[in-house]
Amino acid sequence: MQGYIVRGLPIIKEGDDIASQLQSLFDFQDGDVLCIASTVVAKSEGRFRDLDSYFPGPRAREIASNIDKDPRFVQAVLDESAQVLLDHPFLLVATRFGHIGVNAGIDQSNVGGERILLLPEDPGASAERLRAGIGREMAVIVTDTCGRPFRTGVAGVAVGWAGIAALRDWRGKCDMHGKVLEITQEAIVDEIASAANLLMGEAGDGTPAVVFRGLKYPRTGGSVFMPEEMDVIRPHLGS
């Protein structure tokens, strides 16, 4: 397996065709896995917002005063949320497309100016579009850097994917002693996303695209977004 950092992408603007920009920098083959930072996907989709375009309601103002945040920013997070899981000491929400993240994944770094950048509205659909745009029988994973519960430090996760199964199902396979695995489903899109995130960097590197070649992966199935009814932690979070 090889990993390639795609170099040479410019600062992405609304309307940029990332698929063709990438194609001019990298010769994609069938079976490749392209990992692309949600930041640049969101930029190309015009997900910039001006903080001044938000008019915080009472809930946003109350949350903001508790956690010492700009009420306009809190309103932006609420607008992107399907459910608030924690409103202090930070805002942890479920996005409409199923990902749970602090501040709904809204970024203020690598954006430029006073603007904020929302996550793509539907990163799975974004991944499908990129895949179709490149026109290869390949996988696309849209990544974001996130904190993890119970662990310090941030890591890359998949927020959208196409052409690849989210999960590899090990159930029914035997371990080295012949014991049949009963539960294990491996979150391969997150594992790949975290490796890619390691190569992208977090600051001014300018390398939001990473390609893995020679990786064997299942093509369809599952999601890393846990259905609410299966989540035993969520009911214990009060907000």
Contacts to Mn ion from residues 12-51, by CB under 5 A: none
- Collect all residues with Cβ–Cβ distance below 8 Å to 151 and sequence separation of at least 6: none
CA dist list (Å): 27 to 30, 135, 230: 10, 12, 41
Q: Does 107 bind Mn ion (CB under 5 A)?
A: yes
Q: Which of 19, 37, 118, 210 binds ligand GDP (CB under 6 A)?
A: 37
126, 120 contact by CB (below 8 A): yes
Closest CB 143 distance from Mn ion, rounded Å: 7
Alpha helices in 80-235 (DSSP H): 123-134, 188-200
With CB under 5 to 8 Å by kind, the binding choice for 43 among Mn ion, ligand GDP, none is ligand GDP
Residue with token string 């954006």: 111
Distance CA 189, CA 209 (A): 15
Closest CB 36 distance from ligand GDP, rounded Å: 9
Q: Where are the beta strands (DSSP E) in the chain?
A: 2-5, 33-37, 48-50, 81-86, 92-95, 100-102, 115-117, 139-148, 151-162, 168-169, 185-186, 209-213
First to last CA, the chain: 44
Contacts to ligand GDP from residues 145-164, by CB under 6 A: 145
Q: Which of 106, 208, 210, 212 binds ligand GDP (CB under 6 A)?
A: 208
Site string for ligand GDP, 161-200 (x = CB under 6 A): ---------------------------------------x
With CB under 5 to 8 Å by kind, the binding choice for 12 among Mn ion, ligand GDP, none is ligand GDP
Contacts to Mn ion from residues 124-183, by CB under 5 A: 144-145
Q: Can you give the binding site for ligand GDP, defined by CB under 6 A? A: 9, 11-12, 37-40, 43, 107, 109-110, 144-145, 200-202, 204-208
